Structure 1
C-alpha cells in the first residue's frame, strides 16, 4: 500500500490532517502568548507595572502549548521514538510489533484523554476556580490539556487503522538515502 494512501475518504483524511495542523497552530498561538506574557512581566517590572497572575497565565499557556502540539508532532514524525528493539526486525514481525506498539499507544493516550476530559468536565460542573490573584474557572486552562490529548488519541487511532490496513507507519521518517540527509537529521537532533 502506498504510504500516502488512506483507508478514509479523501474529505475525512483532509479533515483529520487539518485537525492535526490546527492543533499545531493553536499550540503556536499559546507559545506566542507565553512570549508576550513574559515580555510584559519583564518589561513591566522596571516600570513598576504589575501583571496580576502573569506567572499563572504563562504556566497555563505552557501546558496548552505542550499538549496541543502533541498530535501535530506525532503526525510529522518528530515525536521522540525509541527504535532500538523494533529496528532490528523486518517483514511481518516488524509489522506486528508496529501494530502492537501503536495499539498500546492508542489505548494509553485514549485513557489519559478520557480522564483529562472528565477532569475538565468536573471542574466546569463544580465551578472550580484557581487560587491565584485572579480567580479563573479551572476548566478554561484545563481545556488545552483535554483538547490536546483528545486530538492525540484521534491521531493514534487514525495511525493504528492505517497500519492495520497495510499502510507504512507515518509517524516514522523514512531512512536517510544520502549523506546530506544523515547530516541534516543529526543536526536537527542536536547530537
Structure 2
C-alpha cells in the first residue's frame, strides 16, 4: 500500500543528489526526504493515545452515556487527524512548484514565483520549541522578496541529529528549484 506522506525511495537509495530529478508521470507532490524519527515517534504516541481514548468511548457508550461517548469519540478522531497532519509537515516538490506544509497551514508557490532557495546559518528552534540554537535552515524567498517561514532546519523533528540527511534534502530541494525555475 503506498503511503503518500513518505518520500519516494528513488531519492533516498542514492548517497548523492541524483543527476536527473525524478519526475513522475502524474506529476505528484513528493517529499524529497523521509520523516524523521522524532516526528514519527510523536505521531505514533499520539495514535496510541487515540486508541485509549476510542476504547474509553466504547466503554462509555456501553454504559449508556452517549453524550460522553460522543465527546470521547470526537477527541479520539481529532488526535488521529493531528497525528496524520503532523506526518505531512515539511517541504513537498513537484513539477508545478514548491509546497510548504505546516501543522495548520499550507503554502504553495509555483516555480516561476520562487526567487531563491538556499541554506543559511541562523538561529533555529529545537524541535519547534521556544529555545533557539545556531543552526542551518532552508530559506525560500519568493520573487516579490517575501521569505517563507523556515520549516526545514537541521534541528527540527525530521533532522535533529541527522545533519547529513538535512544536507541531502536541502541539496535536493535546491536542485529542483534550480532546474525548474
Q: Same fold (TM over 0.5)?
A: no
TM-score by length of 1: 0.33
TM-score by length of 2: 0.34
Higher relative contact order (CA 8 A, sep 6+): 1
Structure with the higher strand share, 1 or 2: 2
Greater gyration radius: 1
Structure with the higher helix share, 1 or 2: 1
